[in-house]
Structure 1
Amino acid sequence: MFMTYFNVGEIVNTHGIRGEVKVLATTDFTEERFVPGQVLYVSQKNSSPVKLTVKRHWSQKQFEILAFEEINDINEVEKYKGAQLQITSEQQSPLEEGAYYYREIIGLEVYSLEDELLGTISEVMETGANDVWVVKRPNGKEVLLPAIKDVIKKVDLEQQCVIVDWLEGLDEQ
């Protein structure tokens, strides 16, 4: 059976000599993803993901520090520098109604209420108050679209599109 994996962090370096790693998290759910006992997979180019079990986790500055049951010294973990930490699709938490994973939003076509193609979502930026979707226009320019109810009218994952109330002045940046 083919398994789908999703990135939750990147191992950016080793930490200490007991096989701990410094991880730059790419998940909003660090407390859930990195709890002791949680299973993660480390994925490197051209090889099958390796299953690892979290032994310890703590945060340090902007990084997450992880130790794994299967790794006991720096030599065993050195080869994973730059590798992605992943989870399987079965490990993903369902999101509340109206919430989406970034990977579901990026690539969607954006249409106005008048059914005019406005562009494609190329990136999601976190700003604190609300996310901002970067829309690449057909002319190559980018427009920042606030992901708020007044602007985003419908997200249709089946049709791979978003319907928006295109505010006057958005294109004049």
Structure 2
Amino acid sequence: MVDQYFQVGKIVNTQALRGELRVLASTDFPEERFQVGSELAIFKDKELLAQVEVDGHRLHKNFHLLHFKGYDSINDVEIFKGTQLKVHASQRQEELGENEFYYDEIVGLEVVTDQGQYLGKVREILALPANDVFAVQSPEPGHKDILIPYIADVVQNIDLESGQITIQLMEGLID
């Protein structure tokens, strides 16, 4: 069986000279995933570059600044710019609460209105301070993504079995 990993962040840049990396989280559990002692895997595309252990974590603006054990200079970590941070399936929390989902369960789902209008598929999830936002890729070429806030007034139902999210359109949500 091939090991299964789930993305928890993207390394976007280095930070200073002592081996810290700027990470954009793509997990609802950044405090858990990036805590000191956490084991993560670094992937470039589908290639595993390194298994690392977090030995430093702090927040700076909208980034998580991570330091990995044994990577003590900018020269050690520059190769990781633009890569994905993943967690092994064995470290994934088994049970989530009601109406809680892993990002990878949502990405790819079809989005329809409560009137049956097909809007597209979830391309990515933007983790914003107020709430997550689903970026829905329009099926029509050249159209911008539709941004759907993950709030109770809009998202009516997420059905993983049918692969569909049902939303109630709010005024101004779609141009």
Taking only aligned residues, the RMSD between alpha carbons, in angstroms, comes to 2.9
Aligned residue runs from structure 1 range 65-80, under 5 A: 65-80=65-80
Question: What is the distance in 1 between the residues matched to 2:107 and 2:30?
Answer: 22
Query: What per-residue deviation string (whole Å, max 9, x for no partner) do you get for residues 73-121 of structure 1?
Result: 444333223222211122223432102233322322223445x242223
Stretches of structure 2 lacking an aligned partner (at least 5 in a row): none
Shift of 1:156: 0.8
| Residue 22 of structure 2 is aligned to residue 23 of structure 1 | yes
| Residue 112 of structure 2 is aligned to residue 111 of structure 1 | yes
Counterparts in 2 of 1:170 and 1:88: CA distance versus 1, 3 Å: same
Higher Rg of the two aligned structures: 1
Question: What is the distance in 2 between the residues matched to 1:60 and 1:165?
Answer: 35
Secondary structure at 2:104's aligned position in 1?
helix
Identity rate of aligned residues, in percent? Answer: 34
CA contact (8 A) 2:23 2:66 kept: no
Secondary structure at 1:48's aligned position in 2?
strand
Partner of 1:164: 167
Scaled by the length of structure 1, the TM-score of the pair is: 0.75
Question: What is the distance in 2 between the residues matched to 1:135 and 1:120?
Answer: 6
Secondary structure at 1:31's aligned position in 2?
helix
The list of structure 1 runs, each at least 4 consecutive aligned residues, that deviate by more than 6 angstroms after superposition, is none
Counterparts in 2 of 1:15 and 1:163: CA distance versus 1, 3 Å: same
Query: What per-residue deviation string (whole Å, max 9, x for no partner) do you get for residues 110-169 of structure 1?
Result: 23445x242223343455444343444555555444433343332111110123334577
Number of residue equivalences: 169
CA contact (8 A) 1:110 1:118 kept: yes
Moved more, 75-84 or 119-128: 119-128
Partner of 2:55: 55
CA contact (8 A) 2:112 2:120 kept: no
Partner of 1:100: 101
* Aligned amino acid, residue 90 of structure 2: E
Scaled by the length of structure 2, the TM-score of the pair is: 0.74
Counterparts in 2 of 1:97 and 1:83: CA distance versus 1, 3 Å: same
